[in-house]
Structure 1
Amino acid sequence: VLEAVNKHLRDVAAGISGLVGISVSDRDGLTLAKSSTEDSKINTSTLSAVFSSATEQAGKLSLGSNSSIITYTDKYVIVQAAHTPLVITFVGTEYLNVGLVMKAIPALRSKLENIREKVDSIISLA
């Protein structure tokens, strides 16, 4: 199952200009699948854990639920999307087409549904 997800991530990455990599992690940062076009120095595991916490805090603002966060740094653009308990992280150059990333998220969530359900059931047992 994860090999199919990795292949899908590679296919998605190939279609988005400026994309360096995609990772799928659980809410604690454990990487389940990833695809990278270059060796980025970004620790997506840490980003996933921070995203989970930030999303939870953003929910307390009474503005509705938060489903994604876009971060711009000097070297990278990072788009993170919730598929609770999973976090999908896209890392791109400053030229990343964020619109294409946002458009790709619903289909990727659909592809990850089986894994999401399994991770959710494991968490429920804990």
Structure 2
Amino acid sequence: MTDEVKKYFNSILNKVNGLFVIQVTDRDGVPLLRVSQDKNIDFALMPSFIPTFATASEQAGKLGLGRNKVIISMYSNYQVVQMNKLPLVLTFVGAEHCNTGHILALEKQLDTHLEDLKIAVTEV
């Protein structure tokens, strides 16, 4: 199961130009799966960075615009796209020129590949 999911995420990593890391965590930031290229992008995947997404999503939901699905953070050399797939959080880290729209377009495809991980997280 996990090998198939990891293989799928590796294929995404190779398809999206400029994408360095894809990490799947639970809502508390506990890593469940990570695929990456050779680049060292650990700053974005620090344990304190990912749980901040849950807090930011919750605060954004208070704006009265509905539940937040995605947060995109742009930095000088990197961009971080985080998707809310409760009980999972997907984090994509790419170069500043990485096609953000391409990452966002993958959202529906990802759901079928995350079902087993969602079940495993909710059963624990």
Give the match's secondary structure for 1:42: helix
What TM-score, normalized to structure 2? 0.91
Question: Structure 1: 5+ residue runs without aligned partners?
Answer: none
Q: Take 1:109 and 1:46, find their aligned partners in 2: how far apart are those partners?
A: 25
SS of alignment partner, residue 42 of structure 2? coil
Query: Counterpart of 1:4 in structure 2: which amino acid?
Result: E
Q: How far did residue 104 of structure 1 move?
A: 1.1
1:97 aligns with 2:95: no
* Corresponding residue number in structure 1 for 2:43: 42
Q: How does 1:59-74 map to 2 (within 5 A)?
A: 59-74=61-76
Contact 1:76 1:91 in 2 (8 A): yes
Q: Quickly say closer, same or farther: Cα 1:73–1:3, change in 2 above 3 A.
A: same
CA distance, structure 2, for counterparts of residue 96 and residue 19 of structure 1: 6
| Structure 1 residue 22 corresponds to structure 2 residue 22 | yes
RMSD value, Cα? 1.2
Aligned equivalent of 1:51: 53
Residue 35 to residue 96, structure 1, CA distance change in 2 (3 Å): same
1:26-74 CA-partner distances (Å, limit 9, x unpaired): 0111110011112213242433211011111111111111000000011
Q: % of aligned pairs identical?
A: 34
Q: Match for residue 120 of structure 1? A: 122
Q: For 1:116, what is the secondary structure of its paired residue?
A: helix
How many residues were matched structurally? 122
Q: Give structure 2 stretches of 5+ with no counterpart.
A: none
Task: Return the letter of the residue paired with 1:66.
Answer: N
TM-superposition CA deviations, 1:98-118 (whole Å, max 9, x none): 011001121112210121122
The whole-number CA distance in structure 2 between the counterparts of 1:105 and 1:34 is 17
| Aligned-partner residue type, residue 15 of structure 1 | K
TM-score by length of 1: 0.90
What's the secondary structure of 1:101's corresponding residue? helix
Conserved? CA contact 1:26–1:48, under 8 Å: no
Please identify, of 2-11 and 37-46, the stretch whose mean Cα deviation from structure 2 is larger: 37-46
Distance (whole Å) between structure 1 residues aligned to residue 111 and residue 53 of structure 2: 17
